[in-house]
A = this chain, B = another copy of it.
Amino acid sequence: MTATAAKATTVGFADVLRARDRLAGVAVRTPFIENAELNNRAGGRVLVKAENLQRTGSFKIRGAYNLMSQLDANAVAAGVVAWSSGNHAQGVALAGKLLGIPTRIVMPADAPAAKREATLRLGGEIVPYDRYTEDREAIARDLAAASAAAIVPSYDHPEIIAGQGTVGLEMAEQAAEIGVVPDRALICCGGGGLTAGSALALRQRFSDLQIHTVEPEGYDDTARSLASGRRESADVSRVSICDALLSPMPGELTWPILKNEVESGLVVSEDEVRAAMRFAFRELKMVLEPGGAVALAALLAAKLDFAGSATLVLLSGGNVDPALFAAIQAEPN
């Protein structure tokens, strides 16, 4: 416990500020949007952070570039290896393209085609694996060891956490710019890099903010960990449309931060996610992927009482195959 806490203190607000400097001109300061219909639905004020409009269609470029831009010349030459269902893959591939670093990404064979194709277009090399029978981390570590390549983890690294934390930093600034003191923040959660980093940045400005993670049914390891007080795991063989959020458990580095900063974990059903994707299409005019829609789903499904308060909702990604998107839009509301 003491050892873990000590390790966690290797990431702090100052790291998020440094990450923001590195990301200048690389990541976009994504819009912070208020929508009247969403306010009506919540009975309060809702501010949406649209990271689906980020480069590569998700926030992942932030952490990947922040880490990869600090690699030394040897590591740059050897390239990097990562594992990802597709959003981190695109972030790593784009960072590699911008920095001249070869990238190899271990990706499930059933990852969305849109994510595979976008990763390839960005120059990433894909190493497919079977999500249900193979261990992606072992494959990646073997690849890295054989070529002296660096690993770019998808969440459990101080510079990844700090990079993703720039989302929270922007949200804090954008809320302050319009004079809003948010009561709550809803942040989608896989391994917890985005939530941990963003929590560090949000807490710096808003000491009373209640931060909630949001996870899809079956992958509620963070919610259960927060309830029990120790890291719980998810059954990763379970099928879910939220491909971006299928992490086995909170990270070693992310967990102590989550434990300190997060009020509780919310869980949404697949139907609630699909309804949120329809709401985003119809009212927000934005494309969300399932994993990117969970925080909005928690709000629309009234997982807490949002009336009379101000809530930040993080939309994390929009990389979804057209056929799945169309099928979801065709469903009745």
Contacts and interface: CB of A to CB of B under 8 A. Distances in A.
Main secondary structure of the interface of A (DSSP, over half): helix
Interface in A132-178: none
Interface string A304-333: 000000000000001000110110011000
A288 B284 CA distance: 11
A207 B33 CA distance: 31
B33 A31 contact: yes
Interface string A12-36: 0000000000000000100101111
A53 interface: yes
Contact of A286 (B28, B53, B114): B53
A285 B326 contact: no
A171 to B, nearest CB: 15
Interface string A270-297: 0000000000011111111000000000
A87 interface: no
A61 to B, nearest CB: 10
Interface in A30-69: 31, 33-36, 50, 52-53, 55, 57
B318 A323 contact: no
Contacts of A330: 322-323, 326
Contacts of A34: 28
A284 B326 contact: no
Interface residues of A, number: 27
Nearest to A57: B285
Contact of A36 (B50, B55, B285, B329): B55
A282 B31 contact: no
A285 B329 contact: no
B318 A329 contact: no
A287 B28 CA distance: 19
A34 B25 CA distance: 11
10 smallest A-B Cβ distances: which pairs? Answer: A326-B326, A285-B318, A31-B31, A322-B329, A285-B287, A52-B285, A36-B55, A57-B285, A53-B285, A281-B287
Given A52-B285, A114-B282, A287-B287, 12 more contacts: A28-B33, A28-B35, A35-B55, A53-B285, A53-B286, A57-B285, A281-B322, A285-B287, A286-B286, A322-B330, A323-B330, A326-B326
